[in-house]
Amino acid sequence: MLSFALGIGTQNTQGDWLEIYYPAPLFNPDASLVTAAQQALDAPQGNAAISFLPEDCTRLAKALEAAGHSAQAELAEALSASQRPLVAMFLDADQPPQTAPEVYLKLHLLSHRLVKPHGLDLTGMFGLLRNIAWTSEGAIDVEELPARRLKARMAGRALSVDCVDKFPKMTDYVVPTGIRIGDTARVRLGAYLGEGTTVMHEGFVNFNAGAEGPGMIEGRISAGVMVGKGSDLGGGCSTMGTLSGGGNIVIKVGEGCLIGANAGIGIPLGDRCTVEAGLYITAGSKVTLLDDQGQEVKTVSARELASQDDQLWRRNSQNGRIECLTNKSAIALNEALHAHN
């Protein structure tokens, strides 16, 4: 079994899942735990999202306790007081998700650091998620928002809509240890933030993307992009994800890199690379290679330099051409930026 989790969620008036919170998802759970849960909930083999009622919790808790899994048994017992829909998600194999509970479990696994970006199959996930109004009263189906707003007003409450999106913010579900986030609305559920990562107020981290940490993120980490250990993204910079023009190319940033303010990349970088502030590199950009003496060697497309280490990318201020040379300084990143204690 790849993963198992007990969750509490929200449904619309038609019974469709809007979102699911999994307090303690398990990755590669013990077989005895899975068997006990399957038998208690009469779950089939394979990937399955099983809805259950609060009155089923005691039976489930006893089965898990008998199998020697007290932590999950305690969670099951606690869920017996729930007034929201309950679900048990059994993820036997990593296949394209078929249900919203399955999508949410995979997003939780990423944000809990149990799996790294690109470690799970998320093919077709967008079609399984509804457009949701994330409000002061929880997740509301956009089509049902007018009625809910009117109901709240009639009861003397002002219903506030924080955003309208398919994804919630990560910190409403998971807060990994050892991180700082200036504006939590800018980190989506499904982001991977390693120990020592700081996301400043203008930083953004999409789902299935993230940073190994330590690192300072003041720019944008697009979907599918992973930033290596000790790398920093300057204010206003961006990484081109697979959903924003990068196609099937997996964009990543190696270790010890620096992407300057308002710069950007559309190719993967190796280790110890620097991109000058304001310079955006796409795969087709024409780049002049320079040797150790600063002499021109040849001109190539940026894609030919992808994933190579120790590069310094800059724009010549006199003629405007993009240049790349060996980064001899290897960029001594400011360790104070990475200190969290």
Residue 302: which of 319, 282, 320, 321 has the closest Cα?
282
The architecture (CATH level 2) of 3-127 comes to: 2-Layer Sandwich (3.30)
To which residue do tokens 């808790």 refer?
61
Q: Which residues are annotated as a binding site for Mg(2+)?
A: 202
Tokens of 12: 């619309």
Whether residue 128 is predicted with pLDDT greater than 90 in this model: the reply is: yes
The architecture (CATH level 2) of 170-338 comes to: 3 Solenoid (2.160)
Q: Which residues are annotated as a binding site for succinyl-CoA?
A: 220, 235, 238, 261, 276-277, 284, 314-317
Tokens of 125: 């996930």
Tokens of 156: 């003397």
Predicted TM-score (pTM) of the model is: 0.91
User: Which pLDDT band, with edges at 50, 70 and 90, does 130 fall under?
Assistant: very high
Query: What pLDDT is attached to residue 245?
Result: 40
Contacts of 150 (CB under 8 A, 6+ apart): none
Q: Do the Cβ atoms of 209 and 191 come closer than 8 Å?
A: yes
Percent of the chain topping pLDDT 90: 89
Q: Do the Cβ atoms of 86 and 7 come closer than 8 Å?
A: yes
Q: What is the mean pLDDT of residues 43-48?
A: 94
- Same-fold call for 3-127 versus 170-338: no
Domain positions in the chain are 3-127, 133-165, 170-338
Alpha-carbon distance of 258 to 240, in angstroms, equals 16
Alpha-carbon distance of 195 to 323, in angstroms, equals 34
For the stretch 249-285, pLDDT in tens is 789 999 999 999 999 999 999 999 999 999 999 999 9
To which residue do tokens 């400011």 refer?
334
Inter-axis angle of helices 70-78 and 57-66, to 10 degrees? Answer: 170
Q: Which residues are annotated as a binding site?
A: 202, 220, 235, 238, 261, 276-277, 284, 314-317
**Residues known to be catalytic:** 218
Quickly name the fold that domain 133-165 has.
Wheat Germ Agglutinin (Isolectin 2); domain 1 (3.30.60)
User: Which pLDDT band, with edges at 50, 70 and 90, does 242 fall under?
Assistant: low
